[in-house]
Structure 1
Amino acid sequence: MKKRTLMMGVFTVLLALLFLGGCGIKQDNSPNGSNTGEPQNNNEQPAQEDLLANYLAYQENTKYVYEGQGNEYASFTTYVDYIKGGKVQLRTNNRGTETVRVLGLDAGRMIQLLAQGETYYREDLTQSSSLNTSGDVLLKEPLTKGTSWTLADNRKRTITNVNMDLSTPSGNYKVIEVTTEGKDNTITDYYAPNVGLVKTVYKGTDGYEVISTLSKLEKDTPLVQNVKVYDPNINDDKIYTTQTQLSFKTNDITKQIFEEEFKKQANHGRLIGDNVKIKSLYLNQDGRVYIDFTKNFVREMNAGSGYEGMILQSIVNTLGNYYGASEVYLTLEGEPYASGHIEMKKGEFFKVNMDNVIEG
């Protein structure tokens, strides 16, 4: 147990610094419009601001795969959830946990604006009020050897080399070497223009070493999440569960994916009508899920009070399970839910309830 705790602790340190945690962006910068991902032979360098921006040039709908050595958590994958407003939201999964980060540029710096662990649901955080421009500075201009800065925890981060040749399973690159010196460890990251992080090496003062290396890029690969959907059965007054896979491409809107899923004909029916829209869906800072439907939700349901209650409970259970919440605030175009059978008061929440559920 002690060894496993140490290994997980090391990975946590690495994850906090793997700001690009899976970038392998191969932009087209060649004169003839082609790009093999190999380093360019010419030595012409773009302007410094262009260089820094290139590290946010992520490729959509691509799975970035890192192989690891020295720690069971050193291998991980990364997807790009969103590319919006000059920011990138990354999702890193090491088979033990999922961490979401938002990266952006500010005043000649590449900054980790947000880092949120245990985030198994998908939500656009690029406009979150929690973004912090005083966050961890990952790269800083000028991108030349010797550029150095001090982190909030007093560690020193320095560009220790430039224009290095580095070979990885995913390709050969010209890289910048960035070294972070801590009290008990040193972390060295290698970044390639228009690619991002291609390798990171953690070395403890006791000789302990962990390495993560970009091994491959799987293009046209969406994020796939296994989601438990609750389905009411009017014949026996029970709610049944079904495991389904929801696919998310970069910049897909989560509410639209759930809207499509709720309209599908499940084993015993469907949860919303063809013309019903989800106007908003999000996990609030109070830990509750908020969902707002168009007013035709009730009309297109056309159900008696018992079945209506089961439909509502199925929606609440599905969203509660997905977001890890126990309460859902369900409204109709901003107003408390009201149907004639069920009347909710302002601020009154539906609660996740498994009393009548049969696991499928």
Structure 2
Amino acid sequence: MKKITVLFSLLTIGFILSSCRLFKIDDSAVSEAVSSQNQVTDSSKESLKSSETDDSSITESSINSDESKEIVTENQLADYFPETANKEYVYIGEGNEYASYDVFTDYEANNSKQTRTNNGGTEVVKVLDLEENQVVVRIDREETYTRENWLKTKISNKNEEMEILIKSPIKVGTSWEVVGERTRSITAINVSMTTPIGTFNTIEVTTGGTGDKEITYYAPNIGLVKSVFSLNGYNVTSTLSEINETPLMQTIRFYYPESDGKTMSFVDKEVAFKTNNVTRKRIEAAYKEVPNNQVGNVLSKNTKILSLYLNKDGHVYIDFSKELTSEMNAGTAFETLIMQSLVNTIGGYYHTNDVYLTVEGKPYSTGHIQMEKGEPFMVTNKNSHELGK
């Protein structure tokens, strides 16, 4: 899996930044941008046709042309990272099974955004910041399948180097160093690039390393439209094919106690998350939707999840309002099933076996179950089965 994610990071190193503009755009912004970008001249299309036969020729000609170095775009840095809240960017790939992927913005605020990239083999979460003269990747986490808001999280390791995706001024010749002893630079301006959703006037950013090269193309008001990774004459490409207005869908397994007081049933639910949705609130709402009368309630109507997060120690911490216990009308056996259902559900979502559960900051305590401070509940699938089977 580690090899998959390393290659995946190379393929998506220049991915789009959303929600980093200093102003808002309306829902028609994407379609308007596509429409305006489609207005290319015949000569531009002819240039595009030749570029499509050999992606590397675009960069080589750009680097070697003295005239191109004088070209400066009127677009600003933020123009290449438009808002993408509740929009799914879908890329089709060639050359590798992981070259196709989709991207969703989990959170965005104050010129920062947190994206989730899924290539079918793994999910990578990144936090990107729009600074005064550059766009940087502040956090890059592989194999991250849960929604955790890291927009305000600082880099814990002082030696961890932030990666610069784009740097101003937006003109040919702007160059900078990136992680891995690689050089990245703007190598062309006004490059016409055709994708399944339209033709765009783009800037070209080239990253060179030892034996490898990556070229990324960014369009104003859209973001990344194409990337080409080359190694020893072998190319892997990813091209923007769709922009869908849709929430992120995650499958979560919810456990419920059965009326016999001995077993639990589980059901997989598709939970929709819009950009900036609070994870604990969406899970709470989904949990209160009891699938049928064969199982009992886990959370009463008035019970609230006050906090929910995955700690640096790899354990999940969840705190409930007092109604969890005050409105739980259950004997010892049924209460045990309720708590085990909760622990299995939360632990399963966060991929951990230890769940530290409290009620308004205090250890869980009733007449039937007494937990000590710092004592976790443990996930177990014993005596559980799929609902209806």
Under a length normalisation based on structure 1, what TM-score does the superposition of the two structures give? 0.89
Alignment partner, residue 123 of structure 1: 148
Alignment partner, residue 35 of structure 2: 38
> Structure 1's 311 and 130: CA in aligned 2 closer, same or farther, altered over 3 A?
farther
CA distance in 2, matches of 1:8, 1:280: 30
Given candidates 94, 97, 109, the residue that maps to 1:84 is: 109
Task: Please tell me whether the aligned partners of residues 365 and 371 of structure 2 are also in contact (alpha carbons under 8 angstroms).
Answer: yes
Given candidates 11, 14, 21, the residue that maps to 1:18 is: 14
Structure 1 residue 8: Cα displacement: 6.8
Structure 1 residue 59: Cα displacement: 2.1
> Structure 1's 33 and 331: CA in aligned 2 closer, same or farther, altered over 3 A?
closer
Task: Please tell me whether the aligned partners of residues 39 and 172 of structure 1 are also in contact (alpha carbons under 8 angstroms).
Answer: no
Alignment partner, residue 217 of structure 1: 243
Q: In the alignment, does 2:227 pair up with 1:230?
A: no
The one-letter code of the counterpart of 2:243 is: L
Alignment partner, residue 93 of structure 1: 118
Task: Please tell me whether the aligned partners of residues 17 and 82 of structure 2 are also in contact (alpha carbons under 8 angstroms).
Answer: no
Q: In the alignment, does 2:173 pair up with 1:146?
A: yes
CA distance in 1, matches of 2:31, 2:256: 49
Which runs of no fewer than 5 residues in structure 1 stay unpaired? none
Deviations 1:139-196 (A, max 9, x none): 0011110000111321010100112211111111111100000102000000111111
Structure 1 residue 60: Cα displacement: 1.6
SS at match of 1:308: helix
CA distance in 2, matches of 1:270, 1:79: 32
Q: In the alignment, does 2:194 pair up with 1:198?
A: no
Deviations 1:98-147 (A, max 9, x none): 11111102241100111111111112111223378941000001111000
Q: In the alignment, does 2:318 pair up with 1:291?
A: yes
> Structure 1's 8 and 110: CA in aligned 2 closer, same or farther, altered over 3 A?
closer
CA distance in 2, matches of 1:323, 1:297: 21
Structure 1 residue 321: Cα displacement: 0.7
The one-letter code of the counterpart of 2:32 is: N
More helix by share: 2
Given candidates 189, 192, 212, the residue that maps to 1:162 is: 189
Task: Please tell me whether the aligned partners of residues 144 and 162 of structure 1 are also in contact (alpha carbons under 8 angstroms).
Answer: yes
> Structure 1's 103 and 131: CA in aligned 2 closer, same or farther, altered over 3 A?
farther
Structure 1 residue 266: Cα displacement: 3.1
The one-letter code of the counterpart of 2:34 is: G
Structure 1 residue 300: Cα displacement: 1.2
Given candidates 132, 137, 142, the residue that maps to 2:164 is: 137
Structure 1 residue 37: Cα displacement: 1.8
Given candidates 238, 253, 256, the residue that maps to 2:281 is: 256
What is the aligned-residue identity percentage?
41
> Structure 1's 255 and 52: CA in aligned 2 closer, same or farther, altered over 3 A?
same
Structure 1 residue 19: Cα displacement: 2.9
Structure 1 residue 22: Cα displacement: 9.3
The one-letter code of the counterpart of 2:240 is: L
SS at match of 2:144: coil
Deviations 1:33-81 (A, max 9, x none): 98252346799965x7xx2223332222111110101111100111111
CA distance in 2, matches of 1:9, 1:259: 35
Task: Please tell me whether the aligned partners of residues 22 and 79 of structure 1 are also in contact (alpha carbons under 8 angstroms).
Answer: no
Q: In the alignment, does 2:357 pair up with 1:330?
A: yes
The one-letter code of the counterpart of 2:247 is: P
The one-letter code of the counterpart of 1:279 is: L
Structure 1 residue 237: Cα displacement: 1.0
Alignment partner, residue 241 of structure 1: 266
Structure 1 residue 208: Cα displacement: 0.7
CA distance in 1, matches of 2:320, 2:5: 42
Task: Please tell me whether the aligned partners of residues 239 and 314 of structure 1 are also in contact (alpha carbons under 8 angstroms).
Answer: yes
CA distance in 1, matches of 2:370, 2:261: 25
CA distance in 1, matches of 2:222, 2:238: 15
CA distance in 1, matches of 2:101, 2:18: 8
Task: Please tell me whether the aligned partners of residues 161 and 176 of structure 1 are also in contact (alpha carbons under 8 angstroms).
Answer: yes
> Structure 1's 288 and 323: CA in aligned 2 closer, same or farther, altered over 3 A?
same
CA distance in 2, matches of 1:125, 1:321: 21
Task: Please tell me whether the aligned partners of residues 19 and 112 of structure 1 are also in contact (alpha carbons under 8 angstroms).
Answer: no
SS at match of 1:310: helix
CA distance in 2, matches of 1:12, 1:44: 29
Which runs of no fewer than 5 residues in structure 2 stay unpaired? 41-70
SS at match of 2:152: coil
Deviations 1:78-100 (A, max 9, x none): 11111123211111111111111
Structure 1 residue 12: Cα displacement: 3.7
Structure 1 residue 18: Cα displacement: 3.4
Structure 1 residue 6: Cα displacement: 7.7
CA distance in 2, matches of 1:195, 1:354: 45
Deviations 1:269-315 (A, max 9, x none): 22111111111111111111111111121011111111111111101
Task: Please tell me whether the aligned partners of residues 22 and 214 of structure 1 are also in contact (alpha carbons under 8 angstroms).
Answer: no
CA distance in 2, matches of 1:118, 1:265: 31
CA distance in 2, matches of 1:28, 1:12: 29
